[in-house]
Structure 1
Amino acid sequence: MSTRDSDPKKTPDLEVKDAQLIFNSVWDELETERGRDNMRFPKEIILLGGAPGSGKGTNTAYICKVRDIIAPPIVVSSLLDTPEMEALKAGGNMVGDREVVDILFRKMLDPIYREGVVLDGFPRTTVQVECIKMLYDKMVSLRRAYQDSPLKVHFKQPIYHIMVLFVDEAESIARQLKRGREIIAHNEEVKRTGSGELLEERPTDTNIDLARGRYRTFKEKTYDALLSLKQIFHYHFINAQLPLDEVQQKILKELEYQSSLELDPRTYDVLRNLPEAAQIVKHARRDLVYRIDRYRLEHPNLFDDVVKFIENKVIPIVKPHAISGRALINSEDPLLEDPKALAMLIDVFSERGYFASVDLHRVEIPDQFDLKTGQITCREKRVFRIMVRFKGSEIRRG
């Protein structure tokens, strides 16, 4: 097959039909060869796309580390190494969708990828996008089919992430040509010294027109195809023109655990009404200020008493613990019997940069002793234990 799978003259409906034919053909062939019980694809699939020179190769190891994926990434271009496919790639073109889907699915069934995999350079066409959607549906279908089977452990809820690294055309061409110069210099040194391994010299890394064509192929076919996944899966768009450390910080932020996407749907239905921590934290400072202002307006006397209690009885104990950043204060002050006073105390400490918590300890204290019966009557002693934590001194120790 040639690049006709990505023919821009085809309508979306025709491309979907092509995808269905390709996917069904590849799936049926694999299922016949391996058996349905062995159609065990990775639980987590990260689709890493990006413009030429955007740093996919540089960032795959980092993404694997962040997601705790131990298997090496699958670099799709490295799988396509037949002479015919190499000739197509050398001209800045793409290998046919049927070949790509077939060889990739076979690779993904390797047990090493069972827990997760990063796919570098897939999908690149609308047809491939449709195939990856169909794979997700098949994985969900298999999970349901094996739900009550001893094999259910092998068919987990699939997790998809789409990560797109983007640079503009000028930056992409500059990076491709820079890479080409570095590879040529490296290879010349290897030939001169006989030490080291030769690296592949791509025509697209040495010819500005081919480099420009490769970028435009990405923009006209791959980019739009990847965008179509945005409404279905967790999608991350990363500006890869920034310095590497900033790019990786953005990757880390975007790949933070998302429970709504990674839990089994039935489990998520049970938890969905509980707010996520990020949702609560987002407006925490604003809400804290609002509460403290309300205390001052609605309960001015009680608020003043709480502030005086902190100033006169708590802070003098906190100060000597400035190095450790941790102080425990026991108090029987009746002020703390009021739940509103406890709420104020915790919020005031939070506003000042401390973390405070309060526990109530009840202790039975002997109060009366009956000499005739020997009966002891006790009274309850209520002790409030206030734990105050803060960032301790940064002086050098030992």
Structure 2
Amino acid sequence: MPDSPAAQPLAPKPTDLEIKDASLIFSSVWQELEANFGRSELRFPKEIILLGGAPGAGKGTNTDFIKKTRMLTCAPIVVSALLDSPEARALKNAGNMVGDREVVNLILRALLKPEYRDGVILDGFPRTKVQVECLKLLVDKMQALRREFYSTPLGIHFRQPTIHIMVLFVDEREAVARQLKRGRETRVHNEEVARTGIGEPLEDRPTDHDEALARRRYRVFKEQTWDALQSLRETFHYHFINAQGPVEEVEQNILRELEYQSTLELDPRTVDRLRGIPVASELIVHARQELVKRLDGYAFEHAELFARVVAFIEKKIIPIVLRHAISGVAQINAEEAVLDDPLALAILIDVFSERGYHAVVDIHRIEVPEQVDLKTGQIRCRTKKVYRIQIRFQGSEIRRG
């Protein structure tokens, strides 16, 4: 009986030659950018929303809503679309990710496009700790460029950067269920497109049809991307969005997280200049109490004027308002002498506010000729003041049909 063939030695495991040093990766990419574009043309977006999340968390579903909330008009930069080479597709289909240098290089070049200058959503970055460090290095460079060009004519192109990290999160069970559901819906859609020739086919991911691959994709996210995103909590504006519920609930969560905060987004010089003007939300906190205090003050300290203004409202304004109950808008022109007192106008506005109306008063001055000097032709005029009062309130809804 012939001897069994000798056992073949195991082939050596290929060495991972990809550079894992973030500073080396970033420096290499940055040097290429400077060589290709020049420092003065490295103009990155004012606002970058880094949208990350578990597979199936709804990044694509919620992107348009986030754009609308932040008033962004450009399409998002989707990392998976940037990395659309055959090699990248093979890695993604297996639930893996592509190399960090390729990702960073493509993203930085995309961010330099003019359409993204005011702001952009970046979907799917960062996903690794190396990419996180490259992001920090990018923001450092953006700040350095801003300082460099701050007092030059180019300063307007290097504004205070605002970086948001937005993480949509669902648990593994929900993530897998959503991926498989998306796979079923994609196949139905693509079959309909193939049958009718109408519409465009959607990307059909192998991970959306295999539960094991879907679970692996989620676990890759948890093991690699989740920790990377969490590490940015202390560095940038971090928004954790519970995406487990229905779309409407997720949208409300996003709204609460992205409320405008001027001190975080404006240049410090702008903030200092605006500091003396109260914020509307702060102004209205005690508005009702202040209104009550003013009205009581009018009644006790300016009783006669208060009575005259109230009488004017009852006799001259309310009859006109009643005739506009359907539209909810009444315009009144008045020349009453009582309104010549500035305090009377304040009383009028406050009285209507207390009654649930919105009152606006505009003083219109008209020059009325009174006398003509026949020798010089000079015309002497008197100033006639007309108080234009607009009253708005909730009108009546009339059923039609």
Q: Do the aligned partners of residues 347 and 79 (structure 1) sit closer, same or farther apart at CA in structure 2, a change above 3 Å counting?
A: same
Distance in 2 (CA, whole Å) between partners of 1:230 and 1:396 is 53
Q: Do the aligned partners of residues 200 and 332 (structure 1) sit closer, same or farther apart at CA in structure 2, a change above 3 Å counting?
A: closer
| TM-score of the two chains, using structure 1 as the length reference | 0.76
Matched, 1:280 2:290: no
Matched, 1:244 2:247: yes
Deviates more, 1:387-396 or 1:72-81: 387-396
Distance in 2 (CA, whole Å) between partners of 1:33 and 1:137 is 20
**Retained in 2: the 8 A contact 1:3–1:94?**
no
Identity %: 64
Unpaired segments ≥5 residues, structure 1: 7-17, 369-375
Matched, 1:202 2:205: yes
Distance in 2 (CA, whole Å) between partners of 1:115 and 1:87 is 34
Q: Do the aligned partners of residues 195 and 286 (structure 1) sit closer, same or farther apart at CA in structure 2, a change above 3 Å counting?
A: same
Q: Please give the secondary structure, in 2, of the residue aligned with 1:98.
A: helix
| TM-score of the two chains, using structure 2 as the length reference | 0.76
Q: What's the offset of the Cα at 1:76?
A: 0.6
Q: What's the offset of the Cα at 1:213?
A: 3.5
**Retained in 2: the 8 A contact 1:321–1:327?**
no
User: How big is each residue's C-alpha offset from its partner over 1:24-65, in whole Å with a ceiling of 9 and x where there is no partner?
Assistant: 232123223433233222233222222221221123234445
Distance in 1 (CA, whole Å) between partners of 2:233 and 2:295 is 41
Q: What's the offset of the Cα at 1:322?
A: 2.8
Q: Do the aligned partners of residues 179 and 314 (structure 1) sit closer, same or farther apart at CA in structure 2, a change above 3 Å counting?
A: same
Q: What's the offset of the Cα at 1:304?
A: 5.8
Rg comparison, structure with higher value: 2
Cross-structure match for 1:143: 146
Q: What's the offset of the Cα at 1:120?
A: 0.9
Distance in 1 (CA, whole Å) between partners of 2:218 and 2:148 is 42
**Retained in 1: the 8 A contact 2:95–2:207?**
yes
Cross-structure match for 2:77: 74
Q: Please give the secondary structure, in 2, of the residue aligned with 1:353.
A: coil
Unpaired segments ≥5 residues, structure 2: 1-14, 372-378
**Retained in 1: the 8 A contact 2:330–2:390?**
yes
Distance in 1 (CA, whole Å) between partners of 2:17 and 2:337 is 81
Cross-structure match for 2:53: 50
Cross-structure match for 2:180: 177
Distance in 2 (CA, whole Å) between partners of 1:367 and 1:148 is 57
Q: What's the offset of the Cα at 1:68?
A: 4.8
Cross-structure match for 1:88: 91
Deviates more, 1:92-101 or 1:175-184: 92-101
Counterparts of 1:239-388 in structure 2, within 5 Å, are: 239-245=242-248, 247-248=250-251, 251=254, 255=258, 258-289=261-292, 291-292=294-295, 306-324=309-327, 325-334=329-338, 336=339, 340-359=343-362, 385-388=388-391
For residue 167 of structure 2, the aligned residue among 147, 164, 167 is 164
Matched, 1:60 2:54: no
Q: Do the aligned partners of residues 22 and 294 (structure 1) sit closer, same or farther apart at CA in structure 2, a change above 3 Å counting?
A: farther
Matched, 1:214 2:217: yes
Corresponding letter in the other structure for 2:331: A
**Retained in 1: the 8 A contact 2:132–2:228?**
yes
Q: Do the aligned partners of residues 366 and 122 (structure 1) sit closer, same or farther apart at CA in structure 2, a change above 3 Å counting?
A: closer
Q: What's the offset of the Cα at 1:298?
A: 6.8
Q: Do the aligned partners of residues 329 and 118 (structure 1) sit closer, same or farther apart at CA in structure 2, a change above 3 Å counting?
A: same
Q: Please give the secondary structure, in 2, of the residue aligned with 1:92.
A: coil
Distance in 1 (CA, whole Å) between partners of 2:166 and 2:77 is 15
Q: Do the aligned partners of residues 380 and 143 (structure 1) sit closer, same or farther apart at CA in structure 2, a change above 3 Å counting?
A: closer
Distance in 2 (CA, whole Å) between partners of 1:168 and 1:299 is 65
**Retained in 2: the 8 A contact 1:183–1:199?**
yes
Deviates more, 1:157-166 or 1:378-387: 378-387
Distance in 2 (CA, whole Å) between partners of 1:213 and 1:296 is 73
Q: Do the aligned partners of residues 38 and 381 (structure 1) sit closer, same or farther apart at CA in structure 2, a change above 3 Å counting?
A: closer
Q: Do the aligned partners of residues 247 and 307 (structure 1) sit closer, same or farther apart at CA in structure 2, a change above 3 Å counting?
A: farther
Cross-structure match for 1:373: none
Corresponding letter in the other structure for 1:171: E
Distance in 2 (CA, whole Å) between partners of 1:293 and 1:96 is 71
Distance in 1 (CA, whole Å) between partners of 2:383 and 2:192 is 85
Q: Do the aligned partners of residues 337 and 200 (structure 1) sit closer, same or farther apart at CA in structure 2, a change above 3 Å counting?
A: closer
Q: Do the aligned partners of residues 359 and 189 (structure 1) sit closer, same or farther apart at CA in structure 2, a change above 3 Å counting?
A: closer
Corresponding letter in the other structure for 2:332: L
User: How big is each residue's C-alpha offset from its partner over 1:117-158, in whole Å with a ceiling of 9 and x where there is no partner?
Assistant: 221111223432332232222122212322344544543333
**Retained in 2: the 8 A contact 1:180–1:201?**
yes
Paired residues in the alignment total: 382
User: How big is each residue's C-alpha offset from its partner over 1:242-298, in whole Å with a ceiling of 9 and x where there is no partner?
Assistant: 443554465466556544344333222211332222332354345434544665677
